[in-house]
Structure 1
Amino acid sequence: MFKAQKPFLFEHGPRAVILLHAYASGPNDVRLLARTLEHENYTVFAPLFTGHSTGEPLDILRLGDPNVWWQDVKAAIEYLRKKGYQSISIFGLSLGGAYAIKALEMDNQLVAGGSFSAPVLTESFSDISDEFYRLADMTYNAQELNETEKLGRIAQIRQQLPDQLALIDAETANIAAHLSDISQPTFVAQGGADELVSPESGKLLSEELNHSDVSFKWYETAGHALTVNSAHKQLEADISQFLKSIYSDEE
């Protein structure tokens, strides 16, 4: 049975962290990291990108696009500010990481942020297509759709997905073109066994952030989903240390 993922907010101390999930996924991507941070008295908000986790993968293509998801990110930041949080950092996994980087470019009031396995400086994000089809197949199987209905929906995905991935490539290219706008401390994490973006992309990103104090972390044997795979505990410790170093500099 399909179980929808929902946004979550863990309210604790005055320092807030936004965690953005990956493309074709949901906030569970970042729940382990969120739990670690809430135990350290951070307030943590994990929004849900439009069209995601509805039980219908086609909704990602019908309802979402890069501009809509950017509006989601801005709304998440504004949501916390309206609740009174002024000290906000933002991080994300994969495409969520690309949007975290964009947020740092566009909003200099953010304290810090970073990305995990972000497709910012990679040749193309189109390699994600096979993963999208796999996740769609799993979703439809969980709903016990008959084969004819399932194949019909998969056919629609095959027709629409390339156009959306092209828009994502254009968005990440635009993000890559403005990296020098970032002056806040930035955390960049990359797995050496990343199966969806080039493992070199994380190092390239860290090198292009030439106006930022960058903390680059390399997880040699880890794949793409750093927040939930074999690297997650070390990632959590590294993020914790990164945030502590920022706030110790402020004090």
Structure 2
Amino acid sequence: MQTKLPEPFFFEGNEKAIILFHAFTGTSNDVRMLGRRLNREGYTVYAPQLTGHATEDVFNLVAPGNPQTWLADGQRAYDALKERGYHKIAVFGLSLGGTIATSVLLNNDVVGGGVFNTPIVTNQPITESNVPKSFMFFAENMQKKIGLSDAEVQAQKGQLQSQLTDTLQGIAAINTKLRSQIDEIKVPFYIAASGQDELVDPTAGEQFADAITTAPVDLNVFQSATHVITVGKYHHEFETTVIDYLTTLNWE
């Protein structure tokens, strides 16, 4: 039976538009609940799918050049909304999606934006976080789900690990560049950080907030929340802080 894979979504609302970027190995489903809530508040919400995601082939997630392709995906999403006639745009992302959102924010005219559990400013390199181990566990489950034998999974493990390392180093390089551009942030910036983040440095959000000195920062720490805050048990409280932040922006 063919598995139905998640699709990007576009929820039409008013002239205030929001882009939501999902996480590494995630899909638009990462941000669908947040998107629905924001749309109920009146906003137009667009959640594209990053290249290589919503796939049953885990090698698509770590294809050579993916990090730069994801930056291009982010720019394309912004351009797509502009072409639809939306000129007041805010951009957010979960984890990797926050890296993409921050890049879009720095390179385009936006009213605001921010990150959810994105390790842009951190003492822990992503290659030393729990992301590699989590990815390999996820990948093995996916490969078995599509019918690969244990022997086939093991045979592919070395190549997958190598491509994963290259991909994570590519993401880390983008985050390093973004760190050097923090003083270019000129619009109010939202940050959500989970105190029990099991994948990346749980202090990264606070470190990022401390590093931003050129714009107001709305830092929200959810002490008991885990990495995928958008669908975790604290998602209602989290969504409310995003909505409160959006009401402070200059949409005129």
Please give the range of the TM-score, normalised by the shorter of the 2 chains.
over 0.9
Q: Distance in 2 between matches of 1:82 and 1:210?
A: 33
Distance 1:209 1:226, change over 3 A: same
Partner of residue 70, structure 2: 69
Q: What SS does structure 2 have at the residue aligned with 1:162? A: helix
Aligned residues: 248
Partner of residue 102, structure 2: 101
Gaps of 5+ in 2: none
Query: Quick check: 1:51–1:63 contact (8 Å CA) kept in 2?
Result: no
Q: Distance in 2 between matches of 1:62 and 1:94?
A: 19
Q: Distance in 2 between matches of 1:64 and 1:231?
A: 35
Bigger drift between 141-150 and 10-19 goes to 141-150
Q: Distance in 2 between matches of 1:46 and 1:13?
A: 16
Query: Quick check: 2:144–2:150 contact (8 Å CA) kept in 1?
Result: no
What is the correspondence of 1:157-176 to structure 2 with a 5 Å cutoff? 157-176=160-179
Distance 1:8 1:64, change over 3 A: farther
The CA deviation string for residues 24-78 of structure 1, in whole angstroms up to 9 with x for no partner, is 1111100010010011111110011111122111012226522110000000000
Q: Distance in 2 between matches of 1:102 and 1:176?
A: 11
Instruction: Output the amino acid matched with 1:120.
Output: I
Query: Quick check: 2:64–2:163 contact (8 Å CA) kept in 1?
Result: no
RMSD value, Cα? 1.4
Partner of residue 243, structure 2: 240
- Once the 2 structures are TM-superposed, how far is the Cα of residue 241 of structure 1 from its aligned partner? 0.9
Bigger drift between 153-162 and 28-37 goes to 153-162
**Hey, which bits of structure 1, 4+ residues long, moved more than 4 A?**
none
Q: Distance in 2 between matches of 1:141 and 1:39?
A: 39
Q: Distance in 2 between matches of 1:131 and 1:5?
A: 21
Query: Quick check: 1:2–1:139 contact (8 Å CA) kept in 2?
Result: no
Q: What SS does structure 2 have at the residue aligned with 1:58? A: helix
Query: Quick check: 2:78–2:104 contact (8 Å CA) kept in 1?
Result: no
- The share of aligned pairs that are identical, in percent, is 33
Q: Distance in 2 between matches of 1:152 and 1:229?
A: 34
Bigger drift between 221-230 and 66-75 goes to 221-230
Query: Quick check: 1:51–1:64 contact (8 Å CA) kept in 2?
Result: no
Q: Distance in 2 between matches of 1:83 and 1:213?
A: 29
Q: Distance in 2 between matches of 1:241 and 1:7?
A: 25
Partner of residue 133, structure 1: 136
Instruction: Output the amino acid matched with 2:98.
Output: G
1:49 aligned onto 2:41: no
> What TM-score do the two structures reach when normalised by structure 2?
0.94
Partner of residue 213, structure 1: 216
Q: Distance in 2 between matches of 1:137 and 1:4?
A: 18
